[in-house]
Amino acid sequence: MNIFYNKHKEKFLKENRQLYNWLYFWNFMNSQFVWKGLPDTLPAEYIEGFLMTTGMVGIGEIEGKLYAGMGGYVGQLNGYQPEDWEGAVQGKQTIRGYAVGPGAQDDTQNRKKIVVGWNNSLHSPDMDIFDLANTLTEIQTSEDINVVFSRLLRIPIARTSKEKAIIESAIKAIMEGKIEAVSSAVDSLETLVNGEKPMQFLDLVDAKDVDKLQYLNQYNENKLKRFFHRHGFSYNVTNKLAQQSNAEMHGGDDVCIVYPLQQFDFRKRLAKDLNETFGDEYAFECSVEMGEMLKNSYDKAINYIPDELNEKGIVADEITDAESNVEPVETGEKDGENNENDDK
């Protein structure tokens, strides 16, 4: 399909943008955590991809090698969840075995083991990636409408199918960036000027509406800020309301790291279970750590200093030290004695 000459290009462009936005943020989220020590058959991007899109991942043996699969829990309940896990490895086969992971109990039957990891405590995917991609696509569509329709002319009403075809041809030319004018057939210039048979127009556009782009841009920034804060990344909008203080702008920084820390904890459990189950057999030691961007954002969140303190040149360490060196307030009383003023 030729994307440059597609008669359904508006629909194609919107779908393409939605896919691009989804892939962009999915790739971005892949930088949250860094895996080390994994075998060659266990690429980190597949582990993270399954965790983010399905909420869990299973890792088991196929022909003497370890592979990550996508699936879910099956079999008998162990009190909270089924004991076994089954999943598919693309291009290979199905892996199934006793689920080693959060909530697992002792396997008295010594069955084949599948190490299971969770994305979070609810075993849920990061579905907000899809929501953000859809919203940003709608914002971009609105931006297109504001830009394009701010430069169109008033559209004359067609009285015949021939006039309609001419007008449609002109609109198409304008959308392609060409300059084209359309005139309707009239009896004479005098008739048109004198108004005996006036030409009618549809006022569909107003060039002044292009100023709405700044509000769309602000909305776009706010959506990005919410998303990135939800996943622990610092993100400040490019402009703010005049009455907002810097401290108010950073109001969500202190909670933005809660969810990523939970994700980090479950990934550390997965690395631990992999080492205990397969590490010695395959001679590897798996570990996971926060990505650099996430660590930097975490440092900013816990060391943020409000305006009123920052103006005094106070740094984060000094705030902590000051709290530990606070001297008790003297009451003016001694043990067993009352203050002289109390008797007056």
- 221-256 pLDDT, tens per residue? 889 988 988 898 877 765 555 555 655 555 566 678
User: Does 282 reside within a domain?
Assistant: yes
Identify the CATH number of the domain in which residue 71 sits.
2.40.500.10
Which pLDDT value is given to residue 2? 47
∠ CA 35-40-41 to the nearest 5 degrees? 100
DSSP state of 341: G
Q: Are residues 142 and 225 in the same domain?
A: yes
Which pLDDT value is given to residue 46? 94
Q: Are residues 223 and 247 in the same domain?
A: no
Q: Which of 262, 290, 265, 279 shows the shortest CA–CA distance to 59?
A: 279
DSSP state of 325: T
User: Does 344 reside within a domain?
Assistant: no
User: Does 337 reside within a domain?
Assistant: no
Q: Which residue has the tokens 């057939």?
A: 185
Q: Are residues 139 and 172 in the same domain?
A: no
* Range picked from 44-58, 145-159, 184-198, 226-240 for highest mean pLDDT: 44-58
* Count of domains observed in the chain: 3
Q: What is the mean pLDDT of residues 282-291?
A: 94
How crowded is residue 219: how many other Cβ atoms within 10 Å of its Cβ? 15
Q: How far apart are CA 314 and CA 76, in angstroms?
A: 59
Cα dist from 309 to 105, 182, 240, 325, whole Å: 51, 65, 21, 18
Q: Are residues 163 and 45 in the same domain?
A: no
Contact 267, 288 (CB under 8 A): yes
Q: How far apart are CA 340 and CA 126, in angstroms?
A: 67
List Cβ neighbours of 133 (8 Å cut-off, separation of 6 or more): 18, 19, 21, 22, 25
User: Does 338 reside within a domain?
Assistant: no
Contact 47, 57 (CB under 8 A): yes
Q: Which of 33, 31, 38 shows the shortest CA–CA distance to 286?
A: 38
Q: Are residues 260 and 299 in the same domain?
A: yes
Q: What is the mean pLDDT of residues 67-91?
A: 91
Which pLDDT value is given to residue 171? 73
Q: Is 51 helix (H, G, I), strand (E, B) or coil?
A: helix
Burial of residue 38 (number of CB atoms within 10 Å: 0-12, 13-18, 19+): buried
Q: Are residues 247 and 308 in the same domain?
A: yes
pLDDT band at residue 1 using 50, 70 and 90 as cut-offs = very low
Please give the model's pTM, rounded to 2 decimal places. 0.70
User: Does 22 reside within a domain?
Assistant: yes
Contact 21, 58 (CB under 8 A): no
Q: What is the mean pLDDT of residues 121-136?
A: 93
Task: Supply the range of the domain harboring residue 18.
Answer: 1-29+133-147+210-230
Q: Are residues 40 and 172 in the same domain?
A: no
Residue 117: both structure tokens together: 């990891």
User: Does 328 reside within a domain?
Assistant: no
Burial of residue 202 (number of CB atoms within 10 Å: 0-12, 13-18, 19+): exposed
Answer whether residue 182 shows pLDDT above 50: yes
Which pLDDT value is given to residue 323? 45
pLDDT band at residue 92 using 50, 70 and 90 as cut-offs = confident
Q: Is 84 helix (H, G, I), strand (E, B) or coil?
A: strand
pLDDT band at residue 207 using 50, 70 and 90 as cut-offs = low
Q: Is 100 helix (H, G, I), strand (E, B) or coil?
A: strand
Q: Are residues 24 and 138 in the same domain?
A: yes
Across-strand partners of 115?
A: 59, 100
* Among 60-69, 89-98, 183-192, 270-279, the least confident range: 183-192
Which pLDDT value is given to residue 238? 58
* Among 26-35, 152-161, 231-240, 303-312, the least confident range: 303-312
Q: Are residues 157 and 277 in the same domain?
A: no
How crowded is residue 269: how many other Cβ atoms within 10 Å of its Cβ? 17
HEC letters along 108-146 = CCCCCEEEEEECCCCCCCCCHHHHHHHHHHHHHHHHHHH
Which pLDDT value is given to residue 311? 53
Q: What is the mean pLDDT of residues 208-232?
A: 84
Contact 309, 323 (CB under 8 A): no
User: Does 329 reside within a domain?
Assistant: no
* Percent residues over pLDDT 70 in the chain: 68
| Amino acid identity for residue 136 in this structure | L
User: Does 138 reside within a domain?
Assistant: yes
* Among 29-38, 147-156, 310-319, the least confident range: 310-319
Q: Are residues 53 and 109 in the same domain?
A: yes
Q: Are residues 60 and 190 in the same domain?
A: no
Q: Are residues 158 and 183 in the same domain?
A: yes
